[in-house]
Amino acid sequence: MEEENKPLIIIECPHCHVQVIPTADNLCPSCREDIYNKQDINSRQVVLMVQESEKLPPYCYSCSAPTDRYVRTSADEESGLETLIFGEKSPESTSNVIVYLPECELCSDSEIELVEVDYENQTMKIMVDIRFQERVLQFRES
């Protein structure tokens, strides 16, 4: 009897938050975690897509406390093939994305968890507190 072909479904892995097609045994091909095992998942942390030049409300991205501090986070992309052929590229020929995130003093020791960078559209997906995500969505509407 032939095995039925299961449709390919793209989902967000609850562990690494990357869009993936799980393996036949329900593992994420990116982080190798079971996509159905939600133990140890922090439900207060969610993914937020931020545009490079976007103004964000003055609340900490990590805990949603009011703040007037902003921290710079950036990502740079170089073509792997060009790097192999020509060596390290000059800063003028790299693509980068820079985002300023509001961050309170208490969370300043926390590391910003970058999920994904889209260099073409100049966006970053970052793990944030769910309350901060809600504030950003409201801020965008106003």
70-103 pLDDT, tens digit each: 999 998 876 554 555 555 554 455 578 999 999 9
Looking at the structure, tell me whether residues 57 and 121 fall in a common domain. yes
| Count of structural domains, the chain | 2
Structure tokens at 139: 């801020």
For the whole prediction, is pTM greater than 0.75? no
Q: Which domain holds residue 84?
A: 43-141
Looking at the structure, tell me whether residues 73 and 88 fall in a common domain. yes
pLDDT average, residue stretch 107-124:
91
Pairing of strands 123-129, 114-118: antiparallel
Pairing of strands 19-20, 114-118: unpaired
